[in-house]
Amino acid sequence: MKNTFKLLVLSLSLIFLMSSLACAAYPERPIKILIPYGAGGTTDIGVRMLASIVEKDLGQPIVVENKPGGSGTIALAAGAKAAADGYTLTAVTSSPMFITPHLRNVSYNPIEDFTAIMNYSGPYHGITVPASSDWKSFEDMVKYGKANPNKGTYGTAGTFGGAHISMLYVEKLTGSTFTHLPFKGSAAATAAILGGHVNFGIVPQYADHVEAGNVRVLAVLDGTRDPDFPNVPTLRDLGYDWEFASVVGLVAPAGTDSSIISKLEKAFIAAANTAEFKEFMKKANLPIRIMNSEEFSGVLKKNYLGYQGAIKELNLTK
């Protein structure tokens, strides 16, 4: 009996030692990052730039693989099923993490199937009107929407995306109603605002258009003010309990060794803080929002539950 116990202890010790050695040597081969969207989009270019810096630090190539479709869910489903060895990571954004799983059946659980590594960005979304609009404030918009139900139109990047869900909730909070016009992406929605084809839109990357004098931002939907436009209020500043949490970060399959997560977290955060990456993001008009693994994990859980409650209140079902 004693010999059996000793053998068991020895076996467990050897397994632990081998696991520790493997983690210490990580990475020993190329790492793959799954992107939920097509090549050339903001998530794609940001991750590729970050990866090009990190691979120099880790000493292994990082291969970016685009897996668009299903509103981002195809890539996340593949990432959730990947081996928990640190060699397949997934870039995640708000919709496939917070929203889509509450609207339709998906083959992954955003909270249970992933371990957060870090967050590096998250564009601010603004309620944006053409410069010629008579609306000078968010309350002007609300007043119109109350007096003229469904006559005002607004554009977003698509039906039941974060911007659309947010506006549905804003309507609920304010008692105003508008007609939603979904577009194929935020660029098309922005073009509709610039062309005066909608009364307003909820879009990211509005800075250049504001500075050119072509649009105004009445409010930002994020939890904090856009540092580039500190005078523009958030919804909470205006007394409305809502925020559109925007994230762009990296996750690994649940069960990935904590030492591997720590090594990846350290490498990607260091890369996000380099002058090279900051300059790239500035030119791309993309904000840098860095969160470590613990912070990012908390944000994912908080907003997954937040959208769950909002979608239930709005009576939207799978």
Residues 266, 267, 271, CA angle at the centre, nearest 5°?
115
Dist CA 89 CA 82 (whole Å): 9
Q: Cβ distance 58 to 267 under 8 Å?
A: yes
Extract the tokens encoding 44: 């794609």
Helix (H) or strand (E) holding 218: strand 215-220
At 222 the three-state DSSP class reads coil
pLDDT, residue 96, reads 92
Per-residue pLDDT of the chain (318 residues; tens, 9 = 90+): 556 655 655 555 555 545 555 557 899 999 999 999 888 888 999 999 999 999 999 999 999 999 998 888 999 999 999 999 999 999 999 989 999 999 999 999 999 999 999 999 998 999 999 999 999 999 999 999 999 999 999 999 888 888 899 999 999 999 999 999 998 878 888 999 999 999 999 988 898 899 999 999 999 998 889 998 999 999 999 999 888 888 999 999 999 999 999 999 999 999 999 999 999 999 888 899 999 999 999 999 999 998 999 899 888 876
What is the assigned CATH class of domain 126-220?
Answer: alpha beta
Whether omega for the bond prior to residue 204 falls within 30 degrees of 0, making it cis, is no
Q: Where are the domains of the chain?
A: 2-122+247-313, 126-220
Phi, psi (rounded to 5 degrees) for 190: -65, -40
Dist CA 284 CA 71 (whole Å): 23
Q: Superfamily for 2-122+247-313? A: Bordetella uptake gene, domain 1 (3.40.190.150)
Instruction: Judge whether 2-122+247-313 and 126-220 match in fold.
Output: yes
Dist CA 76 CA 112 (whole Å): 12
Taking residue 240's Cβ as centre, other Cβ atoms within 10 Å add up to 18
Q: Exposed/middle/buried for 117, CB within 10 Å: 0-12, 13-18, 19+?
A: buried
Helices 258-272 + 42-58 axis angle, to 10: 110
pLDDT, residue 10, reads 59
Taken in order 232, 183, 305, 288, the sign of the CA dihedral is: negative
Using a cut of 0.85, tell me whether the model's pTM lies above it: no
